[in-house]
């Protein structure tokens, strides 16, 4: 596997850091998860459990080793120093300043181990006026402007279903770690990585920052290309209180659907691009799609060259035939489901361990065993 021989010391909790280090474990890295005394990573106890820990926890921590260390004690700090001295990567997600107070800041650890790649993921970064503010995913998305474009039909900012700031920052951090490890082959030196969830969220808006960067007024989401201003990039109700989406605005899709519905007269409105002038098209399609069930519509669309999709429930998503055919859902020996690693190598495929670590289940690694 790609990361065999790479040793990672992981002090992160909740989602961004653990998701990063799980990806490394899936591809062969030895990840030692250092947890606080007591109940360990809070993620162990968040949400539904189908085994020794929550599904939340195992979805971000499979394949790791767990060590409990009290970093407020001399013995705990000494143990962590020993682990870091032999590590390739160190990941932490505490508020800025915490690692320095404990004696595990970048300067201290890199002096002991110059090859160490040191990665910090935080809400607002290691410097700047917000560095000490408490925040999780939702707050950083709000600061980044993401929620100003994420509205329900009532025009009020909506709660996102995906922890986008957590995941996007995690993937930026992963790319940073891999780049630093690659560069280390030439320089022999590690590096310091500082990833801000706020920054990562803003960077995830390249296609919708046009008006702001051009210093124009804030756009009205319901009139914009990807947030409600296009009839062919829209969510529609069906007769059984389900939903489908049209997800492609190319004019060929517009012509194909409106032609079959005998409303080619509406095509010119779509040819003008997104905006309030498409309201008649949206209202027409809303009326049409309310006439049949979701299953009926998906059958009706079969074979048509139109970008359409059902709004799946989570269970339907896990059972989706395309994902199943690709092996995207794995099942362990306890019958529990797991999401397979997304990156699929032809020559060195991932071999994820489908077991999450028991709390402090690998304490012997502190002594090199």
What are the residue numbers of the active site? Answer: 166
**Integer CA distances (angstroms), 309 to 28, 117, 242, 248, 294, in order:** 36, 42, 12, 10, 10
Reduced to 3 states (helix: H, G, I; strand: E, B; else coil), residue 273 is coil
Q: Using an 8 Å Cβ cutoff, are 82 and 95 in contact?
A: no
Max distance between CA atoms of the chain, in angstroms, equals 77
Tell me, letter by letter, the H, E, C secondary structure of 142-194. HHCCHHHCCECCCCCECCCCCCHHHHHHHHHHHHHHHHHHHHHHHHCCCCEEE
> Could you tell me the strand order of the sheet in which 308-310 lies?
233-237, 243-247, 308-310
Spell out a b/e string for 19-45, using b for 16 or more CB atoms within 10 Å of the CB, else e: bbbbbbbbbbbbbbbbbbeeebbebbe
């Amino acid at each position: 596997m790609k990361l065999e021989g790479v040793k990672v010391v992981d002090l992160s909790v909740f989602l961004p850091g653990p998701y990063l280090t799980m990806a490394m474990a899936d591809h062969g890295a030895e990840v030692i998860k250092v947890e606080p005394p007591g109940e360990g990573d809070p993620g162990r106890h968040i949400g539904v459990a189908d085994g020794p820990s929550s599904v939340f926890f195992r979805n971000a921590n499979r394949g790791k080793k767990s060590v409990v260390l009290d970093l407020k004690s001399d013995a705990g700090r000494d143990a962590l120093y020993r682990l870091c001295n032999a590590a390739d990567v160190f990941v932490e997600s505490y508020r800025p300043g915490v690692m320095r107070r404990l004696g595990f800041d970048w300067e201290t650890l890199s002096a002991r181990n110059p090859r160490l790649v040191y990665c910090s993921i935080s809400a607002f970064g290691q410097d700047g006026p917000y560095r000490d503010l408490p925040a999780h995913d939702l707050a950083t998305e709000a600061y980044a402007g993401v929620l100003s474009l994420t509205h329900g039909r009532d025009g009020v900012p909506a709660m996102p279903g995906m922890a986008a700031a957590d995941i996007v920052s995690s993937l930026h951090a992963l790319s940073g770690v891999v780049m630093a490890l690659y560069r280390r082959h030439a320089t022999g030196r590690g590096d310091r990585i500082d990833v801000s969830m706020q920054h990562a969220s803003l960077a995830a808006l390249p296609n919708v920052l046009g008006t702001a960067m051009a210093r124009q007024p804030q756009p009205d989401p319901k009139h914009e290309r990807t947030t409600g201003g296009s009839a062919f990039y829209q969510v529609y109700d069906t007769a059984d209180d389900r939903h489908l989406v049209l997800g492609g605005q190319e004019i060929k899709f517009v012509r194909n659907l409106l032609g079959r519905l005998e409303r080619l007269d509406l095509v010119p409105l779509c040819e003008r691009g997104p905006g309030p002038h498409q309201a008649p098209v949206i209202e027409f399609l809303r009326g049409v799609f309310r006439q049949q069930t979701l299953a009926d519509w998906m059958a009706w669309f079969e074979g048509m060259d139109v970008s359409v999709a059902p709004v799946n429930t989570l269970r339907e998503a896990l059972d989706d035939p395309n994902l199943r055919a690709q092996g995207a859902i794995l099942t362990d020996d306890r019958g529990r489901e797991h999401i397979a690693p997304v990156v699929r190598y032809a020559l060195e495929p991932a071999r994820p361990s489908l077991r999450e670590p028991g709390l402090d289940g690998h304490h012997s690694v502190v002594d090199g065993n």
